Amino acid sequence: MYMKRYFVLLFVACFFTLQAQAQKRSQKIFPSEVWHPGQLVLMEGDTLNAQLKYDFKTETVLLKFKGNVFSYNSRKILFFNIHDITSDSFREFFSLPYYVKPNYKVPILFEVLYEGPLTLLSREAIVEDQIVRNSYYQYGTAPYRIETTKRLAFDYFFLDMDGTIKPFRLRKKDLLRVMRKHSSAIKRYIKQNKLKLSKQEDLIRIVSHYNELMGMSVRR
């Protein structure tokens, strides 16, 4: 009886250890959680090259230099760029005035995904999702467990030539309204290439194509 109980306890302990290791391996490192080599340009004109970390929630950029950490909010920042070590990519951000309330603008941080006559901007956030899973190994409890997973979510915006920034809710009708000068061509381009607005790389392709069409119409 004792040996049977021992092996049961050993099995349970091994199971939870393996599960914890698997969860640890599956945990993602998000760009806003780590330091990146980059450059920060302040409104006063100072250019600072150092390790940077950004936070969209607080609208701040942290700068680490010679063991010291300095904090700059969006009111002091002109722009900054980083070499994102999580994706091995170059990324550029600007502090731009935005209506957070009617008749009230404040500078907030945006990432520039594509720049042109119509510029695509984004803001990222780490969101949590709860998933219900079966738990056949549990004894004396409900046959399910709730797992919390994290992922990156993005809000998108369009910046036009007049400096107006408008949110984009990933609705096709809203996209065609913004791109009304070439809406038929854009609709055809999306269908022919099977593009999805929910995919960031597809959205960038669409904006790029629209800007190409705008350039062609100007040159005519």
Q: What is the pLDDT of residues 116-154, one digit of tens each?
A: 999 999 999 999 887 777 665 555 555 667 778 899 999
Give yes or no for residue 17 having a pLDDT over 80. no
pLDDT above 70: percentage of residues in the chain:
80
Over range 88-112, report the average pLDDT. Answer: 96
Give yes or no for residue 34 having a pLDDT over 60. yes
Token readout for 158 is 């369009």
Q: Report the predicted TM-score, pTM, of the whole model to 2 decimal places.
A: 0.81
Measure the CA–CA gap between 160 and 81, rounded to whole angstroms. 22
Measure the CA–CA gap between 175 and 142, rounded to whole angstroms. 46
pLDDT above 90: percentage of residues in the chain:
71
Better pLDDT: 129 or 98: 98
Measure the CA–CA gap between 75 and 150, rounded to whole angstroms. 30
* 8-12, 104-108, 179-183, 185-189, range with the lowest pLDDT: 8-12
Separate counts of helices (H) and strands (E) for the chain:
4, 10
- 119 contacts 210 by C-beta, under 8 angstroms: no
Measure the CA–CA gap between 114 and 118, rounded to whole angstroms. 8
DSSP bridge pairs for 112: 121
pLDDT at 5 (0 to 100): 47
**Residue showing tokens 């393996």:** 18
- 27 falls in which pLDDT band (50, 70, 90)? low
C-alpha R_g of the chain:
24
Measure the CA–CA gap between 37 and 65, rounded to whole angstroms. 11
Over range 78-87, report the average pLDDT. Answer: 97
pLDDT at 146 (0 to 100): 77
pLDDT at 174 (0 to 100): 97
Q: Is 151 left (phi over 0), alpha (psi -120 to 50) or beta?
A: beta
* 22-31, 117-126, 204-213, range with the lowest pLDDT: 22-31
Measure the CA–CA gap between 26 and 20, rounded to whole angstroms. 10
pLDDT at 43 (0 to 100): 96
